[in-house]
Amino acid sequence: MLHAGTRSGKRPKAGFTLIELMVVFTLLITLSAVLAPLLLPSPGRTLQATAGEMATTLRETRRQAQAGQVRKRFLIDTESGRYGVEGGNSWRALPRDMTAALTTGESLLTSDTRGGIDFFPDGTSSGGRVELGLGERSLKVDIEWLTGRIRVTDGES
Cα–Cα distance measured from residue 93 to residue 83, given in angstroms and rounded to the nearest whole number? 7
User: Which distant-in-sequence residues (6+ apart) come within 8 Å of 70 by Cβ?
Assistant: 121
Dump strand ranges (E) for the chain.
72-77, 82-85, 92-93, 99-103, 114-119, 128-134, 137-143, 150-154
93-150 pLDDT, tens per residue?
Answer: 999 899 999 999 999 999 999 999 999 999 999 999 999 999 889 999 999 999 999 9
Please state the domain count of the chain. Answer: 1
* Structural domain includes residue 79: yes
69-91 pLDDT, tens per residue?
Answer: 999 999 999 999 999 999 888 89
CATH code of 95's domain: 3.55.40.10
Pairing state of beta strands 82-85 and 72-77?
antiparallel
State residue 124's pLDDT score. 96
Per-residue DSSP letter, 109: B
Quote the pTM value: 0.74
* Structural domain includes residue 119: yes
